[in-house]
Amino acid sequence: MTTTTTATRHDRRMYAIMNRPGAQAMSRTAARRRGWVAAHIALTAAGVAFWLGSVHAGPRWVPFGLLAVIVPWCVAMGVINGATRGLLQLRGRMLDERQYAERDRVRSLAHRITLVLLFAGAAGAGTATLLAGVRFDGGALFPVLFALLVTHWMLPSWVACLRVRDDAPDEVLDTTGGH
């Protein structure tokens, strides 16, 4: 961290939570991190579908589906945040120069991916309208915007988690005072 003297109690508490050694084991390898990101994407998609179903008066069981995915979604989010050591959650003053640079790269990459998704969506919708005469009614606007909002919100976390590199074997020992 760069300026610990200005860190508040909240900053230090969040830093400790994001750097808990016990939680790191769940995301120690690249395969595990990919698994957690895949699970989180699936849970997010399910959560969005359930929430939109509840808003648009879907079947009565839909809100229960939303409640069922909330807890595993929070667990997966916690593991992703732990894997990135709070790269996107901590305030800038709690990050060091490498983490700060990495956060910029993650945001830049996520921005580019969002741009590609938006471009593909716009091109697909335009092509469907032009070539197949498909008409999009206003009812589709809110679900599409909401899905886009969630993607824009979550993408940096997924990108950050996938970019994390494995600790060197002795690095794990180092954290507990070994070596």
Partner 1 sequence: MSEQVHNRLAVVRAERKVTRQALADALGVHYQTIGYIERGQYNPSLDLALKAARHFGLPVEALFSLEPFQPLTDEVYGVPGRKQ
Residues that bind partner 1 (CB under 8 A): 1-2, 4, 19, 85, 95-99, 101, 165, 167-168, 171, 174-175, 177-179
Q: How far is the CB of 93 from partner 1 (least distance, A)?
A: 11
- CA atoms within 13 Å, Cβ hemisphere of 62: 15
User: Between helices 141-163 and 62-83, what is the axis angle to 10°?
Assistant: 30
Q: How far is the CB of 5 from partner 1 (least distance, A)?
A: 10
| Cα gap 47→44, rounded to integer Å | 5
Q: Which is nearer to partner 1, 99 or 157 (CB)?
A: 99
Q: Output DSSP code: residue 29.
A: S
Q: How far is the CB of 174 from partner 1 (least distance, A)?
A: 4
Q: How far is the CB of 134 from partner 1 (least distance, A)?
A: 45
Q: How far is the CB of 6 from partner 1 (least distance, A)?
A: 12
Strands (E), the chain: none
- Which residue type occupies 119? F
Q: Which is nearer to partner 1, 28 or 152 (CB)?
A: 28
- Beta-carbon contacts of 136 under 8 Å, excluding residues fewer than 6 positions away, are 125, 129
Q: Which is nearer to partner 1, 93 or 152 (CB)?
A: 93
Give whole-number Cα distances, 18 to 64, 85, 101, 105, in Å.
30, 5, 18, 20
Q: How many residues does the chain have?
A: 179
Tell which residue, 153, 34, 13, has the closest CA to residue 83: 34
